[in-house]
Amino acid sequence: MAYDTYLAERIRQYFTEQQLNFFEKKMMGGLVFMLNDKMCCGIHFDKKRNCDLLMARVGEEAAQSLMSRQGCHPMEFTGRPMKGYVSIDPNGFDLEEDLVFWLNHCIAFNPKAKIAKKRKTK
């Protein structure tokens, strides 16, 4: 499996407890959690770091200010950082209070996030 199923269950449980209308989508070799048809957060296994990472969509402004948090670094897939997203190493989300911190930032940014344009099918 390409991502940590236990972490996925922790996120799923928190979103359910918060009574959020979300769905999951396998994407980018991992799993993303969609809220209001927008990517909110996700999980994937990073081969370079050899660990599972939490992907957090927090917005450009918050991403810069949160970079000093333990385990937080720019999210990169193609060698370039993705604006408004950060990745968090396990030492930054292992504790429940740390995971909740990140999920709350993702949830708070979600209303401001733009919906990705749908690709036209041929």
Whole-angstrom Cα distance, residue 93 to residue 100?
8
Q: What is the pLDDT of residue 116?
A: 76
Q: Does 95 map to a domain?
A: yes
Q: How many CA atoms are closer than 13 Å to the CA of 72, on its beta-carbon side?
A: 19
**Structure-token pair, residue 32:** 């993303």
In which domain, by residue range, is 72 found? 5-112
Q: Is residue 121 part of a domain?
A: no
Q: Is there a domain that residue 122 lies in?
A: no
pLDDT score of 121: 65
- Is 117 inside a domain boundary? no
Residue 120 within a domain = no
What is the full per-residue pLDDT of the chain (122 aa) written as tens digits? 578 899 999 999 999 999 999 999 998 789 999 999 999 999 998 888 889 999 999 999 999 999 999 999 999 877 788 899 999 999 999 999 999 999 999 999 999 998 877 666 66
**Distances in whole angstroms, Cα of residue 41 to Cα of each of 7, 59, 120, 122:** 12, 12, 24, 29
Report the candidate in 54, 48, 81 with the shortest Cα–Cα distance to residue 69: 54
Whether 87 maps to a domain, the answer reads yes
Q: What is the CATH number of the domain that holds 32?
A: 3.90.1150.30
Domain count, the chain: 1
